[in-house]
Structure 1
Amino acid sequence: MIREKKSEEVPLSLSATARYDGEDVKRQLLEDQHEKCYICERKLGTDFQIDHFKSQENYSNLRQDWRNLFLACGYCNGKKSDRFDNNISPLDVNVEDEIEQRIDFNHNKASFRAVIDDEQHRNTVEMLCRFYNGKQNKRLIKEERFFDEAKQKMISFLRKVYNYQMDSTRENRDIVAEELSVEKEMLGFKYWIILDCHLKDEFINEIKWNKEWTIK
């Protein structure tokens, strides 16, 4: 999960109709989110739904609010429902900085830790843990497959990073840099691999994404 950037131009159907899921809304969200689920960052294909960041059940006044609308995959949208309304907003927060996101290969689980200790960060961590690790660390079949997909993709990325560390050619660097493009999947996990491997300075320009840094 990383910071998101939303178009300032509000889709016309939000003001011209009573709908929140017009074709112009979907099209703009696909473009803004680089066709990825804003929670798990997997490519959406045809499996996407409009998620209300603050749920319709609890915040009916935000039903057509442009800043409250995101695209999520069916898995994430279904599990989120109205239980995680008080999360940190990916439009306002550099999520990848404020929540550590790792695959713990030794314990076969995803690990999330909030850098800031407040209710919104704790709720977001709880949500991510539940999506990847199941309830009380007991995964159902879909949760198991969801986690396994993330684990395999991070194993693949780690191999590319290690190849670069062992042989720092331009070609190997380009391979890692390509995996850090904003269009690629699971950048939140990749971000912390880069930091843990002490490669932040080497890939500083590739891991900015939707935020602006002052490089010191």
Structure 2
Amino acid sequence: MVNVKRSYPEPIALSKKRTKGRGKPSNIKLSKIKGVLGTLKRDFNNKCYICEQKEFTDMEIDHFIPHGDDKELMLCWDNLFFVCGHCNSVKSDIYNNIYTPIFDDKEILNCTDPHHDVVNWIKYEHDLLSEPMVILTTVVNDEAYRKIVDNTVELLVYVYSGKSIAQEHQAENLRKSLEKEMVYFYEILQQYY
């Protein structure tokens, strides 16, 4: 995860859709609202906000806080995040769900919130020779954020390991892609040292 600066104002078509009184929220397709997907793609640097995979083909729009058919929440610009299909299915509506009594227990870091230092609060280690290959650790010093960071680490562990058989295979592909990127990075480092 990296911090992201969201652009404002929101796409005009999104604002118009929200002020329209007709239509059930379940019938709204965010990806068909002009400017939404493209602006999110640009704001999030064409990367999934959870796993940072770039240029993926299964582009989706995540509701950071699940909308529960609340039209305002569904169409709230600050609630829309650029995500890959794998991460969106792993996150599902388990995290940040204000409609469940365990909301406080499952809140995660918001990469668009400048107060959430997602880059420095989670230590990421990758070792091809160890099991698990991806090790994530909470390193936040501020106790007020510890639970949120722990929840985010939990989500990332599920992203890189999977919660179902299909997700395990997707996670394996994600790890392989990450390994290639790490090897490439190390090769570039060696050229300079």
Q: Same fold, TM exceeding 0.5?
A: yes
Structure 1: how far apart are the matches of 2:8 and 2:85? Answer: 26
Matched, 1:98 2:121: yes
Which secondary structure state, in structure 1, belongs to the residue aligned with residue 6 of structure 2?
Answer: coil
Segment of structure 1 superposing worse, 55-64 or 156-165: 55-64
- CA RMSD in angstroms, aligned pairs only: 2.2
Structure 1: how far apart are the matches of 2:192 and 2:71? Answer: 50
Deviation at 1:89, TM superposition (A): 0.6
Q: How does 1:157-176 map to 2 (within 5 A)?
A: 157-165=185-193
Greater helix share, structure number: 2
Matched, 1:38 2:61: no
Deviation at 1:8, TM superposition (A): 1.7
Tell me the equivalent position of 1:16: 16
Q: How does 1:63-212 map to 2 (within 5 A)?
A: 63-85=74-96, 86-92=107-113, 93-108=116-131, 109-116=133-140, 118-135=146-163, 140-165=168-193
Structure 1: how far apart are the matches of 2:162 and 2:69? Answer: 24
Normalising by structure 2, report the TM-score: 0.76
Which secondary structure state, in structure 1, belongs to the residue aligned with residue 153 of structure 2?
Answer: helix
Q: Runs of 5+ in structure 2 lacking a partner?
A: 19-27, 97-106
Deviation at 1:69, TM superposition (A): 0.5
Q: Runs of 5+ in structure 1 lacking a partner?
A: 166-216
Normalising by structure 1, report the TM-score: 0.68
For the Cα contact (< 8 Å) 1:134–1:140, is it kept in 2?
A: yes
**Letter of the aligned partner of 1:159 in structure 2?**
E
